[in-house]
Amino acid sequence: MHAYHVTVTTGASPEVVWKLLVDAASWPLWSKVDSLDTTRSVGLDPGGDDGVGAVRAFRTGRNITGERITEKVECRLLAYEDAFNPSMHNYRARIELEPASSAGTVIHWSGEYETSWLLRWVMPRYLQKFMRGMAEGLARYAEEAASAR
């Protein structure tokens, strides 16, 4: 089993960060995914508040991966697992939000997964870097969204 752990801090409130996390349509705006594939997604909320059981399909390059939301605690936790992923299996991830000591939000994004023996040498380093970019993109975009209010 492989794992990654990323922690970043943003000046945006947990409410602003949360709104971006639960709205799959916002992910291409702040993350490293290219687009949301609505034809392969299931149970998306038209109002942008995807619930437990929703499968969000994201395209990155030529790959499409599906992530099923498994747990939601308002403004605190979004957990998901792989619904379909050509590179990984038994993937489980958690995005935990906590108020920062001064102001803003600390974002903890972690996950565990298995991969083929061919990818086991490359995937851990690649995914750690990819997920750091995801968390940093979320932090920056949340700050921009908060200052635009």
- Residue 14, classified by CB atoms within 10 Å of its CB into exposed (0-12), middle (13-18) or buried (19+), is buried
pTM value is 0.91
User: What confidence tens digit (pLDDT) does each residue in 4-44 have?
Assistant: 999 999 999 999 999 999 999 999 999 989 999 999 999 99
Q: Are 54 and 82 in contact (CB under 8 A)?
A: no
Residue 34 CB partners (closer than 8 Å, separation 6+):
28, 58, 59, 60, 61
Q: How many domains does the chain have?
A: 1
Q: What is the residue whose two structure tokens read 């939601």?
A: 72
Q: What is the CATH number of the domain that holds 143?
A: 3.30.530.20
How many Cβ atoms sit within 10 Å of the Cβ of residue 107? Answer: 25
Largest CA distance in the chain: 48
Expressed as residue numbers, the domain containing 18 is 2-148
User: What confidence tens digit (pLDDT) does each residue in 76-99 have?
Assistant: 999 999 998 878 889 999 999 999
Q: Are 85 and 116 in contact (CB under 8 A)?
A: no
